[in-house]
Structure 1
Amino acid sequence: MAITQHELTRRREQLHDLQRYLAVLEADHDGARAKLLGFRHRYLEALGPLMRELDELEAQLHQATLLLHDALQRQGLDTPRPTPARAKPWPDIAALPDAVPLPPEPTGPMTDLPPPSLKTLYRRAAMRFHPDLAPQGPERDVCEQRMMAVNDAYASGDRRKLETLLLAAGELPEKVIGGPADAVRAWLGLCEHLVQGRIRVVQAQMVWLQSLQMHALRIAIERAEAGGMRPLDIMAARLRSQIAERRQELYIGERVGSDASLAADFLRKRYLRAAGR
């Protein structure tokens, strides 16, 4: 099936529209990622040292409670085995993967030949079938009959008849019905497929970014800050309070080992706190 110059132009415009839409999506994604990375840096700069200190105390407290548990087990007392507190790692916010480059557009006369006009077909048929261009004899008689058919087809606007006559006489199809443009059609289809695939990748990555707990935290903190609050300072105060509590727990845990009932009660309370009860 032939493809006209108009159709080629329309398909190229569609491809350009897709590429412009993709560029907007990529810019939105990169902007959202940059905001998230900037927030993470600010968050960790403000709270990171306190979070690390709390994690270290949790590790020491776990070791102390594990020693108490083992000591009670040896005394025949069954207590829940302590489990280490597992800090949730911050997810890696990777950049978008590199896009597959679009292949170059095919070149050559077959890529943009529209079907010739009816008048062009008539002139081509006249040059091939006009009796004056044929030698005397049966060949001229055949040309006269074909030329009559050509004149009738042109007079009635029967393009298909002219095409049939020319193709039967050995004319190249691209000169009769236009360049099939298989290569450029396939190129446009491949480019559209690649761009649409990239759009889906960017959209999925954007959905993932917005599903992160860090994203929700950034929105909440920035809204609070816009309202005049200082949420990072509040969070820092809470971390310091938790650090003080863990230090007190560690102090008690390291000194109740000689009293089995106190050790068991300490482990039970520690277990309930870790279980969120």
Structure 2
Amino acid sequence: MASLAITRHELARRRGQLQELQRYLALLEADHDGARARLLGFRQRYLEALGPLMRELDALEGQLQQATATLSEALRRQGVEPPPPAPPRSRPWPDIPALPAATPLPPEPAGPLADLPPPSLKTLYRRAARRLHPDLAPSGPARAACEQRMAAANEAYASGDRARLEQLLLAAGEPAEKVIGGPADALRAWLGLCEHLVQGRIRVVQAQTLALHSLQMHGLRVAVERAEAGGMRPLDIMAARLRAQIAERRQELYIGERVGGDARLAADFLRRRHQQLAGPGPG
């Protein structure tokens, strides 16, 4: 039977690898949390500076949407197909979720480590001799049984049949850790599971960080902070643009509410409105 033992050296090496993975994971999590904190702080500053203006603009957009829907229906009643409505623009402040909770690593299996590697074939044979030698048994059936088992042990040792020696020893009451080498399988399974969990967590953190950096708000933060580092006031510029857009929307709403009786003017208004919504967003 092939040995499944994990030696002391291999155990130390695997533990070291696991610790390296955990240190790398901790760095990734710290980088993610720092980036998320910066993004949350910027979003708060952004909304404090521009939120009231954006809400006012959104309210006007809602009124314009209702006005264009009314005009579109009026054109259809007159046999004119209006331009298709464009979807409303999305705002760059989506939810910024925290990392999901990590699955805790299971505790390391407890057990004696003195006999961690499985004993050699010769060691097993010597233990079999101490357990099974007929000289150690009383006369009678017990001695005869020992003679049979010892003969089987001799044969197994001569042929290198480790599995048979192990079976004989376990049947004779030898402790399992002295036959198969202690908690080797449990330690190997524990190390494999821990490595799997940490590597999976690394992939989660990397994916979440990539998603964080792909947010529109992240690109906006980088651009704004770069401009501020150069002495500019980009949020003030954005606020001025929003005020200009609010004035334009008020004028559009005024016009949209008064062109309903003229199909040509209504169609022109809807076409401009469609082009405006389908174009690039502000800021």
What TM-score do you get using the length of structure 2 for normalisation?
A: 0.75
Identity of aligned residues (%): 72
Partners of 1:246 and 1:66 in 2: how far apart? 16
Q: How far 1:22 sits from its partner (Å)? A: 1.1
Q: How far 1:253 sits from its partner (Å)? A: 1.8
Q: Which moved more, 1:64-73 or 1:86-95?
A: 64-73
Look up the match of 2:18: 15
Look up the match of 1:86: 88
Question: In 2, are the aligned partners of 1:112 and 1:181 still within 8 Å (CA)?
Answer: no
Look up the match of 2:55: 52
Q: How far 1:124 sits from its partner (Å)? A: 5.7
Look up the match of 1:156: none
Partners of 2:61 and 2:163 in 1: how far apart? 87
The letter of the residue matching 2:236 is: D
The number of equivalent residue pairs is 261
The 5 A counterparts of 1:1-277 are 1-74=4-77, 76-81=78-83, 83=85, 85-89=87-91, 90-109=93-112, 113-115=116-118, 170=169, 172=174, 174-175=177-178, 178-179=181-182, 181-276=184-279
Deviations 1:105-126 (A, max 9, x none): 1112379623558997798688
Which segments of 5 or more consecutive residues in structure 1 lack a partner in the other structure? 154-159
| Cα root mean square deviation, aligned | 3.7
Alpha-carbon distance change, 10 to 253 in structure 1, aligned in 2, over 3 angstroms: same
Q: How far 1:128 sits from its partner (Å)? A: 6.7
Q: Which moved more, 1:31-40 or 1:110-119?
A: 110-119
The letter of the residue matching 1:83 is: P
The letter of the residue matching 2:208 is: Q
Deviations 1:77-132 (A, max 9, x none): 51415626523153211111111111111112379623558997798688679999
Question: In 1, are the aligned partners of 2:89 and 2:277 still within 8 Å (CA)?
Answer: no
Question: In 2, are the aligned partners of 1:224 and 1:230 still within 8 Å (CA)?
Answer: yes
Which segments of 5 or more consecutive residues in structure 2 lack a partner in the other structure? none
The letter of the residue matching 1:114 is: P
The letter of the residue matching 1:88 is: S
